[in-house]
Amino acid sequence: MYKIEVINIGDELLLGLRHNTHLDYLGAQFALCGQKIWRARVVNDSVSEIQRAVADAWQQADLVITTGGLGPTSDDLTREAVAQQLGLELCFDATVLSAIQARFDRLGFALTEQHKKQCYVFKQGAVLRNDFGTAPGLYYEDGRRCLVMLPGPPRELLPMFEQQVLARLVASQRLSQQTYFLQLRTCGYGESELEALVEPIVAPYPSLKVAFCVHDALVDLRLSAERKEFSQGQLKAIGAHIVDRLGASFVGFGEDSLAQVIYRALRKANRTVAVAESCTGGMLGNAFTDVPGISKVFQGGVICYTNEVKASLLSVPDALLQQHGAVSSECAIAMATGAAERMSADYGLSITGYLGPGGGDAANPLGTVHLGFTGPEGVWSQSVRFKGGRAELKSRAVVAALDWMRRELLRAGLI
In one letter, which amino acid is 360? Answer: G
Q: Name, in order, each residue with C-beta under 8 angstroms of 196's C-beta and a sequence gap of 6 or more.
A: none
Output the pTM of the full model: 0.76
CA distance 190 to 193: 5
Task: For residue 385, give the nearest of 403, 365, 404 by alpha carbon.
Answer: 365
pLDDT at 179: 61
pLDDT at 48: 96
**pLDDT digits (tens), the chain, 415 positions:** 679 999 999 999 999 888 899 998 998 888 777 788 999 999 999 999 999 999 999 999 999 999 999 999 988 999 999 999 999 999 999 999 999 999 999 989 888 888 999 999 999 899 999 999 999 999 999 988 999 999 999 999 999 999 999 999 988 888 776 666 788 999 999 999 999 999 999 999 988 888 888 887 899 998 887 656 777 788 889 999 999 999 999 999 988 999 999 999 999 999 999 999 999 999 999 999 999 999 999 999 999 999 999 999 999 999 999 999 999 999 999 999 999 999 999 999 999 999 878 777 777 888 899 999 999 989 999 999 988 888 889 999 999 999 999 999 999 999 9
Give the 3-state secondary structure percentages of the chain, helix then strand then coil, rounded to 5.
Answer: 45, 25, 35
347-353/273-277 β-pairing = parallel
CA separation, residue 391 to residues 283, 358, 367 (Å)? 11, 14, 11
Peptide bond into 357 cis (omega under 30): yes
Number of helices (H), then strands (E), in the chain: 15, 17
CA distance 248 to 156: 39
First to last CA, the chain: 39
Task: For residue 33, give the nearest of 171, 174, 232 by alpha carbon.
Answer: 174
DSSP assignment string, 314-380: H---HHHHHHH-SSSHHHHHHHHHHHHHHTT-SEEEEEEE--SSS---SSS-TTEEEEEEEETTEEE
Q: Please, are residues 152 and 137 in contact by the beta-carbon 8 Å criterion? A: no
Query: Residue 223 forms beta bridges with which residues?
Result: 182, 210
| H-helix or E-strand spanning residue 122 | strand 120-122
| H-helix or E-strand spanning residue 6 | strand 4-9
Q: Name, in order, each residue with C-beta under 8 angstroms of 240's C-beta and a sequence gap of 6 or more.
A: none
HSE-up (13 A, CA, CB side) for residue 203 = 7
Task: For residue 252, give the nearest of 24, 415, 33 by alpha carbon.
Answer: 415
CA distance 235 to 233: 5
**DSSP category for residue 114:** G
Burial tier of 286 (Cβ tally within 10 Å: 0-12, 13-18, 19+): middle
Cα torsion for 63, 67, 71, 76, to the nearest 10°?
-100
Burial tier of 134 (Cβ tally within 10 Å: 0-12, 13-18, 19+): buried
Query: Residue 186 forms beta bridges with which residues?
Result: 219, 250
**DSSP category for residue 110:** P
Ordered strands of the 146-150 beta sheet: 37-43, 4-9, 63-67, 146-150, 137-141, 126-128
pLDDT at 11: 92
298-303/273-277 β-pairing = parallel
The total of other beta-carbon atoms located within 10 Å of residue 227's CB is 12
Q: Enumerate domains of the chain plus CATH numbers.
A: 4-171 (3.40.980.10), 181-253 (3.30.70.2860), 258-411 (3.90.950.20)
HSE-up (13 A, CA, CB side) for residue 182 = 20
Torsional class of 284: left (φ above 0), alpha (ψ -120 to 50), beta (otherwise): alpha
pLDDT at 182: 87
CA distance 398 to 415: 20
